[in-house]
Amino acid sequence: MEDGILIRRGTEADLESIIAIGLSVWVDTYSPQGLSLEVSQYLGRKFSVHAITALLSSDDCAFFMAEKEGRVVGYTLLKRHVICPLSEDLDVEVATLYVLRGAQGLGIGGKLFRTGLEFAVSAWGSDRCWLRMSAKNSAAKKFYASHGFELIGSIWMEFDGAQSENFLLASKSHAAF
């Protein structure tokens, strides 16, 4: 931890941090100009105490938290038994990877991501993971490519009254790490 960054497993005690970081990074990344009522309601459900508590208590979910100098700055959430819409062979999803804006670009997202992938191998026996991301998120696309993930296709989803494209990515193999 020579750089002041600690990655650790998330627990019930992280409930409020997960909600605060989740809302902050989501709005910052996807809707910095403002929120429609539909999006606000979506966020209220996605980051509710009830929803995050259920994820924290599930054996099929694993959170990892990043701390910088003792303060929580990001987290990742992995889920197993979630089949990729484009490949039945892939059933471990990196569902969330969020780092607060003020802590981005310091290597924290990379550490969180690698920790999650290593956990998927050691605890769940899965050496390939998949994820979905907005096609408009060019920074994330570059980040995932540099971590050995490749595009396997895209799906369109209805969101906030419009169709939006989501890329599906999967790890080539853990040899890349």
Ligand X SMILES: CC(C)(COP(=O)(O)OP(=O)(O)OC[C@H]1O[C@@H](n2cnc3c(N)ncnc32)[C@H](O)[C@@H]1OP(=O)(O)O)[C@@H](O)C(=O)NCCC(=O)NCCS
Q: CA gyration radius for the chain? A: 16
**Minimum distance from residue 29 beta carbon to ligand X (Å):** 4
Residues 6+ apart with CB under 8 A from 166: 132, 133, 134, 135, 154, 155, 156, 157
Contact status: 77 vs ligand X (CB under 6 A)? no
Q: Which window, 38-46, 85-93, 103-111, 149-157, contacts ligand X (CB under 6 A)?
A: 103-111
Q: Is 146 in the site for ligand X (CB under 6 A)?
A: yes
Euclidean distance between CA atoms 174 and 101, whole angstroms:
28
Q: Which of 10, 68, 78, 109 is in the footprint of ligand X by CB under 6 A?
A: 109
Q: What are phi and psi of 14, to 5 degrees?
A: -95, 5
In a 10 Å sphere around its CB, with 0-12 CB exposed, 13-18 middle and 19+ buried, how is residue 51 labelled?
middle
Q: Which of the stretches 16-24, 39-47, 82-90, 135-143 binds ligand X when contact is defined by CB under 6 A?
A: 135-143
Name which position in 6, 19, 86, 106 contacts ligand X (CB under 6 A): 106
CB nearer to ligand X: give 86 or 140: 140
Number of residues that bind ligand X (CB under 6 A): 19
Handedness of CA 9, 11, 15, 16 (dihedral sign): negative
Identity of the residue numbered 170: A
CB of 175 to ligand X, least distance (A): 18
Judged by the rule CB under 6 A, the positions of this chain that interact with ligand X are 25, 29, 97-99, 104-110, 133, 137, 139-140, 142-143, 146
